[in-house]
Chain A
Amino acid sequence: MLTREEGEEEQEEEEEAKGRRRAFSINDNVDLLAEILGRLDGRSLAVAGCVCRLWSAVGRRDSVWEAVCHRHVAGGGSSAAGGGCSTRSVVAALGGYRRLYRLCIGPALDRLAGSAGGRGSTTTTAAAAAAHHLSLSLSLSLFSIDCYERLGGRQQRPASLLFLCKPVDVS
């Protein structure tokens, strides 16, 4: 009897300790999860979306991708609230930040990193620097052109961004 009680007590203690350790689960607090995911780079965020349904749902939020875009691109983060709102509405109208990243910013960053790496020698820090020089306005311009091409619907596949990468099926 005593041993069982002790055993139970121990078990309870253990459970309590475990509970304390498990008291905070990231999945309980979705906004916090979104905040954290928003600090990843694009590729990692896409990978994180494969973890579970919750992460996939959170990882698709445009606000998360908005944070990612602004983090990786110059000229985006400093906008005032008003500026931010209008940018958001325009980007939403054109297809959203996730699409913006997938079509423009991601390939552009890859291309910049690739070419800087390809030149090899001098700079890997310059690669990072070059990446940050990619401006939001340029990305948005390219994005808007792509969006415009897709409006045509009928015949051509949109090709204005082909110079960045292989054709991407964005659906």
Chain B
Amino acid sequence: MKRGHQDTLHGGGCWYAVAPETERGKRKTTMGASEEGGDVDELLAALGYKVRSSDMADVAHKLEQLEMAMVSSATTNDDALLSHLASDTVHYNPSDLSTWVDSILSELNAPPPPLPTPPPPPSADAYDLKPLPAIPAPAAPLVLGTDPQSEVAPSPRDRKRMKVCSSPPSSSTTTDAATSAAAALPVVVVDSQEAGIRLVHALLACAEAVQQDNLKAADALVKQISVLATSQGGAMRKVAGYFAEALARRIYRPQPRGGVGCCSFDSVAFDDMLHMHFYESCPFLKFAHFTANQAILEAFAGCRRVHVVDFGMRQGMQWPALLQALALRPGGPPSFRLTGIGPPQPDNSDALQEVGWKLAQLAESIRVDFRYRGFVAASLADLEPYMLLDQDADGGGGGKDEEPEAVAVNSVFELHRLLARPGALEKVLGTVRAVRPRIVTVVEQEANHNGGTFQERFTEALHYYSTIFDSLEGGAAAVGADDVGPDQALSEVYLGRQICNVVACEGAERTERHETLAQWRGRMDRAGFDPVPIGSNAFKQASMLLALFAGGDGYRVEEKDGCLTLGWHTRPLIATSAWRVAAPAEDPLSASAAR
């Protein structure tokens, strides 16, 4: 009997068994699947289903739930539910398995008692975009009380990974969804899984409302999000919390006045402290440092005088390893000069000099000839080439009898800030070119948070930061709660500030303008740089480093056209690339003498 019911529906049970059912009912061709970004699972696509490879585990999981729900309701002889599902439910776009199964799950969890059904919301046609805010309408409208009365069963599958179920290509048709969601707020929080799905949809709907300046709806949705978030656990709750907060900031303070940024309670020291904890608790920064160092080391092979310019000095954690590697390289260490650039310190303490001093101590102990210079600059665009060039006392512009310096420029998560002001990046890249570096290492986030519309940015950021938070959870779970200390929490605060900046700020204040590797490639290319492939040594070192991280199973190092990316499972999160000046007819070593 159970099977019989299942046969009348799509899906349920083992999902490969779904194949025969595709003949009945709607079926969309999947040739257009490529619009989803090309990562649709091919086997399922051949059967007529569009499921993104990254969603596979999720979809399978939900289908399992669906089966269990149907089985359990069948065993309790709750025929009303199943027959409702079988006959009354209208199925839209079942080939998009992910959203379809979401909708069925939400229907199951909100069983319809015999009530006059309100008129179906007009947006039901655009089902595949924003289904859930409309779904609760046929269900019993429960008033959203002050506490969610529902039994929030903390399901053992608490650590549900939050996925954006379908990439909404356009949102023009779902205006009504937002308003209807605002008008009818029946939130039936039955179990955390289902609440999670609603949470995601609420976040997306809120972003859309904000984009359309529908602040009333957005406001209502933000409250809904906060409530839903409490029913979740782990990474999802935290991410939802940060995004909700950022959305709230955006709604209530639309135009920051007097240059007060959304996250500007920072002192630089606080920021540095967060940065350190982020460094300690997860491998992203370590990966960045190790891969960049390896590229620099290889570029410096054979040079006796080297100069490194670091665009974001902070605590200088990248350089001890490079110093040690230079000290041990065959042929002995070169004479090493470091120029560190940092933001102005409000309390007049000279952090840059302290860092330089520590590095000098280390260099002295391992007998590397070391010189240091720190530059305070509010923005990298304030730099001029003459500041970076060799200003030796004995040379005056680089002695001709000495070997000229080999220069490396290193930027870890710094270049994207320049995109906030037009022309700044071009100026900085021009300065870099003027220094004639042997190598420029660039590490940036692999995400497009600088897209045209707010909603695109929001969706991208949601996906990106949930993946990062997932990876943090994975690491913490493996290590055990006590050992981690405040690192994970502070790393989350650090990321939360980024989220706040991406979502709530605009214009010159929105400094977290991440762009993808492909976009950076284009920019570097236009600025006159050629890519330098990062060798396999770096890849091996990075892989070994990740193997050392507890819970590091999820991390993946990949090589993409000579650049290395670090990702969590299938999603690349940061990318390291190396560049040199494209100078076809010039000898790169005739460097600074001419200037």
- A164: B residues at CB distance < 8 A: 548
B361 within 8 A of A: yes
How many Å lie between the Cα of A156 and that of B552 in the bound state? 26
Q: Range of interface residues on chain B?
A: 35 or more
B287 to chain A, nearest CB (A): 12
B367 with A112: CB separation less than 8 A: no
A141 with B548: CB separation less than 8 A: no
- B475: A residues at CB distance < 8 A: 163
How many Å lie between the Cα of A145 and that of B362 in the bound state? 10
B583 within 8 A of A: no
How many Å lie between the Cα of A39 and that of B545 in the bound state? 26
A66 to chain B, nearest CB (A): 14
B292 to chain A, nearest CB (A): 12
B328 with A86: CB separation less than 8 A: yes
A122 to chain B, nearest CB (A): 14
A163 with B281: CB separation less than 8 A: yes
Stretch at the interface among B79-87, B318-326, B335-343, B437-445: B318-326
User: Total A-B residue pairs with C-beta atoms closer than 8 Å?
Assistant: 96
A148 with B359: CB separation less than 8 A: yes
- A119: B residues at CB distance < 8 A: 553
B320 with A147: CB separation less than 8 A: yes
B368 to chain A, nearest CB (A): 9
A130 within 8 A of B: yes
B546 to chain A, nearest CB (A): 10
B441 to chain A, nearest CB (A): 16
Closest B residue by C-beta to A151: B358
Contact partner, B328, options A140, A151, A156, Cβ 8 Å: A140
B280 with A90: CB separation less than 8 A: no
Stretch at the interface among A10-18, A42-50, A51-59, A131-139: A131-139
A 63-112 contacts with B by CB, 8 A = 83, 86-87, 89-90, 93-94, 108, 111-112
How many Å lie between the Cα of A115 and that of B317 in the bound state? 27
- A83: B residues at CB distance < 8 A: 328, 330
Contact indicator per residue, chain B 304-317, by CB within 8 Å of chain A (1) or not (0):
00000000000011
B366 within 8 A of A: yes
Q: Contact residues of A with B, CB < 8 Å? A: 83, 86-87, 89-90, 93-94, 108, 111-112, 115, 119, 130, 133-135, 137-138, 140-145, 147-148, 151-152, 156, 159-160, 162-164, 166
How many Å lie between the Cα of A133 and that of B366 in the bound state? 26
A148 with B550: CB separation less than 8 A: no
A162 with B487: CB separation less than 8 A: yes
B168 within 8 A of A: no
B45 within 8 A of A: no
- A151: B residues at CB distance < 8 A: 358, 361-362
Q: Are A86 and B332 also in contact (CB < 8 A) when A94-B365, A163-B549 are?
A: yes
A160 with B317: CB separation less than 8 A: yes
B 241-287 contacts with A by CB, 8 A = 276, 279-281, 283
B544 with A159: CB separation less than 8 A: no
B314 to chain A, nearest CB (A): 13
How many Å lie between the Cα of A119 and that of B547 in the bound state? 12
How many Å lie between the Cα of A145 and that of B475 in the bound state? 21
Q: Contact residues of B with A, CB < 8 Å? A: 276, 279-281, 283, 290, 293, 316-317, 320-321, 323-325, 327-328, 330, 332, 358-359, 361-362, 365-367, 475, 483, 485, 487, 540-541, 544-545, 547-550, 552-553
Contact partner, B366, options A93, A134, A135, A159, Cβ 8 Å: A93
A–B complex contacts, Cβ < 8 Å, 5 sampled: A94-B365, A108-B548, A115-B547, A133-B544, A142-B321
B552 with A144: CB separation less than 8 A: no
- B324: A residues at CB distance < 8 A: 90, 94, 140-141, 143-144
- B550: A residues at CB distance < 8 A: 111, 115, 163
- A86: B residues at CB distance < 8 A: 327-328, 332
Closest B residue by C-beta to A111: B548
Contact partner, A145, options B320, B327, B366, B547, Cβ 8 Å: B320
A25 to chain B, nearest CB (A): 40
How many Å lie between the Cα of A166 and that of B479 in the bound state? 9
A141 with B365: CB separation less than 8 A: no
A145 with B317: CB separation less than 8 A: yes
- B544: A residues at CB distance < 8 A: 133-135, 138
How many Å lie between the Cα of A18 and that of B281 in the bound state? 60
Q: A135-B544, A160-B317 are in contact. List 9 more A-B contacts (CB 8 A).
A: A90-B367, A94-B365, A115-B553, A140-B328, A144-B366, A160-B280, A163-B280, A163-B548, A163-B549
How many Å lie between the Cα of A62 and that of B365 in the bound state? 18
- Candidate in B280, B541, B549 with the most chain A CB atoms within 10 angstroms: B280
Closest B residue by C-beta to A163: B549
Q: Are A144 and B320 also in contact (CB < 8 A) when A94-B366, A160-B280, A162-B280 are?
A: yes
